[in-house]
Amino acid sequence: MLSSAVYPASKKKSRKNREPTVVAEEKTAISSDRTEELKNKKYTYFSSVSETVLADVETGSPSSLRRAASAMRKSEVDYLENEKVLLAVASSIMQMVYPSEHVDWETPSFTDVTPYMGAIQSAQKGIYDMSTGNVDFLTIVLPSLVITTADDVSPFFTNSENALRQGLSMRGDSVLAQYLLGLLYQKNNMPEQALSCLSSAKNLAPDCFQILLSFAECQSLAGNMRESYECAVQLLEKYPVDVRLLKLCAQTAYALNNLNAAEEYISRVLQQEPNSLESLLFRAKILMAKKEYIRVASLLDMYSRQDTTAKEYLLLRTQLQYDWSKNLNAAVSTIENALRLYPDDKDVQLFAARLASLSYTKIAGKSAEEYADAVLQKEPDNEIALQYAADGFVQKKNYQKAYELSSALIARNKDDPENLFRHVNICLEVGKKDEAWNLIAPLYKEKSSDENVIQMYIITLDATGRDAQALSLINQLLPNSSSRQKSFLYYRRSLLQGDENAALSDLRSSLIANPRNSDALFRLYQIYFDKKDYRKAQYYLKQVVALNPNDEEFHRLNDELTLLLN
């Protein structure tokens, strides 16, 4: 027997597919003499089968496979051997490629040992079989059924790609070949190429659930979350309990910040799979984004009974401890545990950078920009890492270095408000006032009702010498502003007042609107410190320290003030 050239691949969890009965000894190859004979004769194994039936099998959509099976249906004793094999091929394609479909025809047993069933049996074991002879459409395409069972397609990617393209050159309307090629690209993380093939397959078989689902998943892989979500929701109307589809709806809804919808979908998954730890953790992640901390805590406690080392669990636990419990020591301890377990993981490093940036502290001896730099060494264009690195340099008052990183962020994504606000602030610190103005002025014109934009605009007006405009706008906005906005506006007006009593009045009004306004409290400290009223100064400074417990500069000022009072 000719030895098979095969490519093994990792397999998914086994499916309960019904395999056709094969009486003869299982083989995945044919003899070398037989191969040459078949090549010389142009391989006419199915020559007695209707060309229309064979074409339907080669088309390979669920409807064409059923049509072929229906056309061949007869009593078992009347089947030719090659018809039995072709029915078995059709059954195997349906089971492996379209698992949500039902094989509604009988597949009689057969005795012929053929490269067709050999390729299928190899594919079911996760093996790409190269011993089929490649003498007709099916022998060329069937080995690629392994794509449906393999997690890693890289060992046979090139061979399968070439074979499927050859198959499409022979039969351009083959749904099977087009869909398998799309799956091949999808599993090899080539979403754009995958979408092209899956779109063609979808046009050829517009009612095929498996193809439509793969197309929606690939849209998500390509970053087209809106398109993926819309496709998935539309499919869900027809397949309301499909778990894979519900998970896609949940993931894309979350990516689009549609948190209520995301929670609804993942809850429906948990109704069917109550023991799914992955779904339990994803629900906790959604609730964290909704700031429903008590429910998050409950879910994480439930999860921790079975696992306390999962990366996502540790990140969520850290966030809960910092955002809800306000327990910095516990949060630092948890993220340091994550760093021990996943020292080179990008998500863990970025979360450590975030926590270091928010808390003004080092994590496992490293600062925010050090963790961000570790990510940037591997991914120089990672936007989140650039943000944390820039924030770290701002904290250190290294504004020139922060300006370089922030400029790179603006060049990549000028539409992100966080990037723009950061850059405007940094520009003002380094004296690039015209650059700051040219960024914020058009944004204010476009979004003059956005509170964050208004605040940045007023700060820039003041910093660029447009005091009269700033004061006029503040007075215009004050009567109808929210409490949060009023606190900001009174504080900014206090900086523009020429009279100390008027400034003090504005600062007190700012604190009435928001007693936790650190800027207003610190300004009161400065005023009373300058007046040498150190006890009042310390009264306000202690509140600033309480609101910013990890800011070393505030602690230093408080220590100096304590010495003066003693």
Q: Which tens digits make up the pLDDT trace of 169-217?
A: 999 999 999 999 999 999 999 999 999 999 999 999 999 999 999 999 9
Q: What is the mean pLDDT of residues 470-499?
A: 95
Helix (H, G, I), strand (E, B) or coil at 460: helix
Per-residue pLDDT at 252: 97
Per-residue pLDDT at 565: 86
Structure-model confidence comparison of residues 131 and 414, the more confident one: 131
pLDDT, tens only, 55-89: 999 999 999 999 999 999 988 788 899 999 999 99
Percentage of the chain lying above the pLDDT 70 cut? 92
**Mean pLDDT for the chain?**
90
Nearest 10 degrees: Cα torsion 72, 75, 77, 80: 0
Q: Give me Rg for the CA atoms of the chain.
A: 33
Q: Is the dihedral of CA 187, 54, 138, 21 positive or negative?
A: positive
Q: Residue 46 is which amino acid?
A: F
Per-residue pLDDT at 375: 94
- Read off the pLDDT band of 542 (50, 70, 90): very high
Per-residue pLDDT at 47: 87
Percentage of the chain lying above the pLDDT 90 cut? 77
Contact yes or no for 83/51 (Cβ under 8 A) = no
Per-residue pLDDT at 414: 77
Backbone angles phi, psi at 289, to 5 degrees: -65, -30
- Read off the pLDDT band of 42 (50, 70, 90): very low
Per-residue pLDDT at 552: 81
Query: What pTM was estimated for this model as a whole?
Result: 0.74
Contact yes or no for 145/164 (Cβ under 8 A) = no
Per-residue pLDDT at 236: 95
Q: Is the pLDDT of residue 33 over 90?
A: no
- Read off the pLDDT band of 223 (50, 70, 90): very high
Per-residue pLDDT at 275: 93
Per-residue pLDDT at 21: 42
The residue behind tokens 């400065």 is: 526
Contact yes or no for 435/427 (Cβ under 8 A) = yes
Q: Is the pLDDT of residue 27 over 70?
A: no
- Read off the pLDDT band of 232 (50, 70, 90): very high
**Burial bucket for residue 44 (CB in 10 Å: 0-12, 13-18, 19+):** exposed
Q: Is the dihedral of CA 400, 402, 404, 410 positive or negative?
A: negative
Per-residue pLDDT at 25: 35
Tokens of 181: 């090629």
Backbone angles phi, psi at 554, to 5 degrees: -65, -40
Cβ neighbours for 47, distance < 8 A, ≥ 6 positions apart: none
Q: Is the pLDDT of residue 20 over 60?
A: no
Contact yes or no for 201/178 (Cβ under 8 A) = yes
Reported as type and span, the H/E element at residue 8 is strand 6-8
Q: What is the mean pLDDT of residues 236-244?
A: 94
Q: Is the pLDDT of residue 288 over 60?
A: yes
pLDDT, tens only, 376-418: 999 988 888 988 889 888 888 899 999 999 998 998 877 788 8
Q: What is the mean pLDDT of residues 466-491?
A: 95
Q: Is the pLDDT of residue 14 over 50?
A: no
Q: Is the pLDDT of residue 6 over 60?
A: no
- Read off the pLDDT band of 45 (50, 70, 90): confident
Cβ neighbours for 68, distance < 8 A, ≥ 6 positions apart: 53, 54, 56, 57, 86, 90
Per-residue pLDDT at 261: 97
Q: What is the mean pLDDT of residues 303-313?
A: 96
**Residues 191, 195, 197: CA angle, nearest 5 degrees:** 120
Which residues on adjacent β-strands are paired with residue 8?
127
Q: Is the pLDDT of residue 238 over 70?
A: yes
Q: What is the mean pLDDT of residues 316-340?
A: 93
Per-residue pLDDT at 541: 95
DSSP state of 550: T
